[in-house]
Structure 1
Amino acid sequence: MSEMHAETVGYVRDTMLPEQDPPATSVGAIGWLRENLFSGWFNAILTVLALVFIYWVLAAILPWLFSPTWEATSLNECREILRDMGREGHFSGACWGVIRDRWVQLLFGFYPSGLYWRPILAFVLLFVALGPVLFSDYFPSRMIWFSALYPFLMPWLLWGGSIWTPILVVVGLGIGYGVFRVVAAATGNLAGLIAAVVAALVWWVFIVGPLSGLIHSVISLGINQVDSRNFGGFMLSLTIGVVAIAISLPLGIVLALGRRSDLLIVKALCVGFIEFIRGVPLITLLFVASTLLNIFMPPGTNFDIILRVIIMATLFASAYMAEVIRGGLAALPKGQYEGADSLGLDYWQSQRLIIMPQALKISIPGIVSTFIGLFKDTTLVSIIGLLDPLGLSNAIRADSDWNGIVWELYGFIALLFFIFCFGMSRYSMYLERKLQTGHK
């Protein structure tokens, strides 16, 4: 009987059951909540406590944020508006009238109001110039020429003066390149590079000013000049940050290569510079730029304070940038260097085509972090008397109409910095995804 039963029972299914939908509690919003917020009793308790804390914070902040005081002209008027609504107390509501009254000053400082179009144009052209560099897939390759010319156009738009000055500065680059080709063909690339830098510096420091004035006296082309003391607000922070970021990256690359060089003098100079700058706080360098630097300059020399700050901020950021890039170079396998040698490439060709692109890709998070830190550090210039947004906030609070305003001003300034810093961090994530070549 058992043998007959064994022959009639099948152990392999010959028909498939119809496919069923997954349980509603494991998919969609409910499934996500169960998996991420209520996966266990401890996780559920933490979720409930977090929701209670978020409710408590929002219940205190949202009424303060949505305060109908935009049209107020003083702190006392803000308090009267809130008192009429039955909202008493120091934190009963924000006084947004100060932002309506002073937002232009927080953005442009004391820049002449009739010339606001110049910093606005410079800011718009900044995004146009960054387009071919940051989003090369969406912009024509020919626009890279405008990106190369923008560093000379932006100072002219902001400070004004003769058009011949930026033109002669560009000519200095051509002179440096010509000197490099001549000297490098005779003695080598290193000597050519040193000679090119010296020739360009001599041209810019000693020749551009007098020659520009001479040409301008014959052919007067230019726009109204604006003194640096009129610069302020977020425009000042953006100017210092953009210029320092743009220059610190190539300078950091050069310092990183110099620190890994086999040439003793070059390596010693780069190591000394990097370690000295990294061992000194930025605020110390800014004090040197604002006070001590004039002591070592010839009598009667007018060295613009904003230019001095930009130089110090650039040197400070380039030292940290050099270490970030050096880490990327050290992370590359030895086979990449050997592969470049096997192709018969010289040092600069291998760095440009094989080594440096990979090192920069590895270093993207550190590079962007250095950029963000540098941009936020521009607020330190308020300590040396420059009226960046924080410096202007102190001046605004000194006005009797707005004496006592704190959170509204600092919140508005924090929002401006957050927008730019968050944008840089998001672009870094986009660039990492774009350059991703390995398996996830």
Structure 2
Amino acid sequence: MSDTHAQSVAYVRDTMLPQKEPPISETGAIKWLRENLFSGWVNAILTLASLVVVYFVVSHLFPWFWNGIWRAGSLTECREIRDAAGVESAACFAVIGERWNQLVYGFYPQHLYWRPNLAFVLMLVAFAPVLFDSLSRRALWFSLLSPFVIYWLIWGGSIWLPVAAILGFVLGWGAFRIVHPLAGNLGAVIAAGLVPVLWWMLAAVGFADMMQGLVPIAMEAVPSKQLGGFMVSVLIGVTGIVLSLPIGILLALGRQSDLFIVKSLCVGFIEFIRGVPLITLLFTASLLLNYFLPPGTNFDIILRVMIMVTLFASAYMAEVIRGGLAALPSGQYEAADALGLNYWKAQQLIIMPQALKISIPGIVNTFIGLFKDTTLVMFIGIFDMLGMSNAIRATADWNGIYWELFIFIGLVFWICCYSMSRYSQYLERKLRTDHH
């Protein structure tokens, strides 16, 4: 082969072809549609059927929403406005504007609305340093004291009753510090739990009455029967959420304990509570609990419900956290032992942080379920938002209205539950340790 022939081989490229655009079916919206909605004949049929259903629903509901009436004094007036406008269907959203105060506050006195409003703001401020670690840790002191301030703002009465409640926790901490050198961890924990309970049952009310006589500081009292609406759902839900997590952690640890009595008590409590419907516990709190209390004891109904809801959520929370503990490899426990950490230090620094991170989806799922379950209190005579909707529909002005109230209540709960879900996703992203 000659040199000239070797330098002019036909398949050796000496120029590049111009770059072409990719096929239109492989870019943009058309690619997305092909991959997600029309990737096969089954997917295509389901997509077309879904479009028909969506069109049917929207074509019927959109005029009802679009023609909604926002200003009227009764359902009859809404219908008169609808007929005068010449439309077939129109939502009567005027009931929300007319009765929003009952849906939010129940029968709370109107001149005292500033108190639950301020309590709600304080609750958000108290949650901030707990939810976002970028804030100062000193603000946690306010988070610890805020429940007592919120209680006083909503129920009113003497300021010395919440002060007496705070003293119970102080006495419990003092008992723990005193008993710990003498009886170890178990004895100190028992003393720390027993002393506050005895104080609250035997001496707290007398102390509060005595101090009120000496230094009278009080606000107008509001009985629990006047509380209602969304305010009650927030009170019961937030209380259950805040208290069920630490109680659930203790129950989960107790269920894994080597101490037979502790393990048996925790297992018995968890299995009993999980085997009983929440509505049964609420009826127990409403009707039966007073039979087990000393004669003449006035145990607030909402406080009883808070206790039962907290215990119910704690049992489920214990199982969620136990799942997180079971998911940890045994090497983590061995590493804690190798570092010379005792049981509580190992739980605090190594075991529990990882178990809680694993359990975040289950924990938030329990919180969301608990918050929605607060609507069950309507069956024991507490007028939450659903209970207030029944009371509103029982009046002559709004008898016969349904969907507008239920849609509003559902929207409020959806916003709250979706916010919790979004925060849990934020927390999961923040705590990720993998690098995928």
User: Counterpart in 1 of 2:43?
Assistant: 43
Code of the residue aligned with 1:136 in structure 2: it is D
User: Counterpart in 2 of 1:53?
Assistant: 53
User: Counterpart in 1 of 2:170?
Assistant: 174
Shift of 1:38: 3.1
Deviations 1:132-177 (A, max 9, x none): 111122x222212211111222111111122222223222222111
Shift of 1:4: 7.3
User: Counterpart in 1 of 2:333?
Assistant: 337
Unaligned residue ranges in structure 1 (runs of 5+):
none
Question: 2:299, 2:351 → 1: CA distance?
Answer: 39
1:108 is aligned to 2:105:
yes
Shift of 1:243: 0.4
Code of the residue aligned with 1:183 in structure 2: it is V
- Secondary structure in 2 matching 1:268: helix
Question: 2:405, 2:295 → 1: CA distance?
Answer: 41
Contact 1:180 1:192 in 2 (8 A): yes
Question: 2:204, 2:18 → 1: CA distance?
Answer: 84
Output aligned runs, 1:403-418, within 5 Å.
403-418=399-414
1:429 to 425, 432, 436: 425
User: Counterpart in 2 of 1:214?
Assistant: 210
Question: 1:205, 1:199 → 2: CA distance?
Answer: 10
User: Counterpart in 1 of 2:144?
Assistant: 148
Deviations 1:325-371 (A, max 9, x none): 00000000000000001000000000010000000000011111111
Question: 2:19, 2:199 → 1: CA distance?
Answer: 79
Shift of 1:318: 0.3
Distance verdict in 2 for CA 1:320–1:14, change over 3 Å: farther
Code of the residue aligned with 1:107 in structure 2: it is V
Distance verdict in 2 for CA 1:167–1:21, change over 3 Å: farther
Question: 2:104, 2:214 → 1: CA distance?
Answer: 37
Moved more, 19-28 or 174-183: 19-28
Shift of 1:422: 0.7
Output aligned runs, 1:254-403, within 5 Å.
254-403=250-399
Question: 2:275, 2:105 → 1: CA distance?
Answer: 34
Question: 2:208, 2:16 → 1: CA distance?
Answer: 88
User: Counterpart in 2 of 1:136?
Assistant: 133
Moved more, 69-78 or 329-338: 69-78
Unaligned residue ranges in structure 2 (runs of 5+):
none
Contact 1:67 1:96 in 2 (8 A): no
Code of the residue aligned with 1:397 in structure 2: it is R
Runs of 4+ off more than 6 Å: 1-4
1:97 to 69, 83, 94: 94
Aligned residues: 436
2:193 to 189, 193, 197: 197
User: Counterpart in 2 of 1:29?
Assistant: 29
Q: What is the TM-score of this pair, normalised by structure 2?
A: 0.95
Shift of 1:253: 0.3
- Provide the alpha-carbon RMSD of the alignment: 1.9
Question: 2:131, 2:11 → 1: CA distance?
Answer: 63
Contact 1:237 1:388 in 2 (8 A): yes
Question: 1:300, 1:327 → 2: CA distance?
Answer: 44
Moved more, 148-157 or 312-321: 148-157
Code of the residue aligned with 1:426 in structure 2: it is R
Distance verdict in 2 for CA 1:198–1:43, change over 3 Å: same
Percent identity of paired positions between Structure 1 and Structure 2: 63
1:240 is aligned to 2:223:
no
Question: 2:14, 2:218 → 1: CA distance?
Answer: 89
Question: 1:242, 1:20 → 2: CA distance?
Answer: 60
Shift of 1:18: 5.7
Question: 2:430, 2:127 → 1: CA distance?
Answer: 17
- Secondary structure in 1 matching 2:222: coil
Question: 2:173, 2:73 → 1: CA distance?
Answer: 58
- Secondary structure in 2 matching 1:188: helix
Shift of 1:95: 1.3
User: Counterpart in 2 of 1:120?
Assistant: 117
Deviations 1:404-436 (A, max 9, x none): 111111111111111101111111111111111
Moved more, 125-134 or 47-56: 47-56
